[in-house]
Amino acid sequence: MIESIAKKNKLSLNSLLDVIDIVKTSFFSLKPNLQDIFLSTIANIISSKEYCTGKSEEEILKEICKLHVERKTKVYATIPTIEGESDNFSYRVAPFDAEYLLAAGVDAKNCFRISGKGEDFFRYCLTSNQAVIMYFTNKLTNRTYICPIIRSGNGIHCNGVDPKLEEDEKDDFFRAFTKAMDEIIRVSSKESIDDEKIEVATITNLHLEDYFQEKDYSKYQLETYIPIDYPCYTDYNKKDKENYIISKSDDYRENKYYVAKDRFYQARKEDYEFNIDKEYDKERLSLIVNSIAYSAIDYKNIPTSRKNKEKRNFKLIDVNTFKYIVGNKDWYVAIDDQYNILANLLPFDERAKKDYIKHLSQAPLLIENMEKEEEEEYGISREDLSKNK
């Protein structure tokens, strides 16, 4: 199918988009709520067999898609979502719904992936509110390092740094890592729930045994295994690994283990607004709207059999019929060319609900104004449109 398109057309942007749509829907069978996965990410994941334990490409892709849908419900963590820079490194807590997280283990060149030994830990870090994944990038070399971090009570713990740090990068990296941990503890001291402040940050000596032997870091004295609320294969509690304190608050005295209730939300992106007279990026809008409409089926109060039937019979919404649309990744309010209101909301984020209700309540007045403008310009009324429909 792709070959026939390539032969018949000079591959324009629209032709390339057609090719991508064909590959996603016909070859990989991606549903509307999976269309935001890049083909390059899929290729990267299924072509990298290092550290894999024997699952087929089809099994890996199926589980990646399932994980991608599951982690979209995560909108906050008990660890602050920070970003900054120090010397030659920039750092950030990756957005929980960042598409590139699906290939984190491939980029890190380790088993932190579907079909890897760290598969359960990978799932945990992407879906649990008690975990985040931090990215550190060397601004001179553009090399990126990945650090999964979990929270256990008053401590946050980094499982290690992958891929292995270059020798001449280690000091710069740990200056940036220390600054990042200091910032997390500082934010927590001001914004955490009372008696739930993060007081200590540690990291394992994975790939860094010699480095920590040479440096003056204190060992984190374990009173027990570092407990988290899900059993995972990790490096924290291995007998051949040590945990070192990178940063701590002035009032840190002892290790406390509990499941934190803090809520540090990831920042929301700006709402998008689309008007037929100012057309832009219809492909992106179509992807967002259809993803929301398809995902919303799972939250209907109907039997599972009916949900499955609705998914099988799902018809893509044509954004070309919209006169106006406003929304975000988890809601939209649209007005079509017959002045009908189409709206949908996913129940992940209470902040989305407020925006959705506000714009939904404004839609009737917007329709009224649009009708007046159209009648003044063309002499066309709603009754005329109904007759012509």
The residue among 97, 100, 109 whose CA lies nearest residue 348 is 97
Q: What is the per-residue pLDDT for 117?
A: 93
CA–CA distance, 185 with 241 (Å, rounded to integer): 24
- CA distance to 137, 178, 323, per residue, from 175 (Å): 13, 5, 52
Q: Which residue in 92, 96, 102, 98 sits closest to 40, CA to CA?
A: 102
Q: Class assignment of domain 73-265?
A: alpha beta
- Hey, what amino acid is at 373? E
pLDDT at 378 exceeding the cut of 50: yes
Interacting residues of 261 by C-beta distance below 8 A, sequence separation 6+: 78, 193, 196
Task: Take residue 301 and report the two structure tokens written for it.
Answer: 């109060």
The predicted structure's pLDDT at residue 92: 97
CA-CA distance, 11 to 25, in Å (whole number)?
19
What percentage of the chain reaches a pLDDT higher than 70?
A: 91
**Phi (first) and psi of residue 138, to 5 degrees:** -75, 115
- Predicted local confidence at residue 212, as pLDDT: 96
| Range list of β-strands (E), the chain | 76-77, 83-86, 89-93, 131-138, 144-152, 155-158, 200-204, 243-248, 264-265, 272-275, 322-328, 331-336, 341-345
In DSSP notation, 193-204 reads: PTT----EEEEE
pLDDT at 134: 98
Element (H, E) at 213: helix 209-214
- List Cβ neighbours of 88 (8 Å cut-off, separation of 6 or more): 138, 139, 140, 169, 172
Mention every residue, 6+ apart, whose C-beta is less than 8 A from residue 313: none
Residue 191: which pLDDT band, with cuts at 50, 70 and 90?
Answer: very high
Degrees (nearest 5) of the Cα angle 310, 316, 321?
130
Confidence of residue 306 (pLDDT cuts 50, 70, 90): very high
Q: Which residues are CB-contacts of 340 (< 8 A; sequence separation ≥ 6)?
A: none
The yes-or-no verdict on residue 274 having pLDDT over 90 is no
> What sign does the dihedral 165-167-170-172 (CA atoms) show?
negative
Instruction: Please enumerate, as own/partner, the contacts of 53-62 that have beta carbons within 8 Å and a separation of 24 or more.
Output: 53/115, 53/116, 53/117, 53/119, 54/115, 55/114, 55/115, 59/115, 60/114, 60/115, 61/28
Confidence of residue 116 (pLDDT cuts 50, 70, 90): very high
Q: How many CB atoms lie within 10 A of CB 323?
A: 19
pLDDT at 279: 56
Q: Which two tokens stand for residue 92?
A: 């950030």
CA-to-CA distance for 34 and 66, rounded, in angstroms?
A: 9
d(CA 31, CA 295): 10
Q: What is the pLDDT of residues 48-67, one digit of tens each?
A: 988 998 899 999 999 999 99
281 confidence band (pLDDT: 50, 70, 90): confident
**CA proximity to 266, closest of 87, 54, 72, 124:** 72
Q: Taking residues 310-326, what's their average pLDDT? A: 92
Which residues lie below 8 Å from residue 211, measured CB to CB, with a gap of 6+?
170, 205
**pLDDT per position as a tens digit, 209-255:** 999 999 999 999 877 788 888 899 999 889 899 999 999 999 999 99
Joined together, the tokens standing for residue 171 give: 């000091």
User: pLDDT: is 278 or 131 the higher one?
Assistant: 131
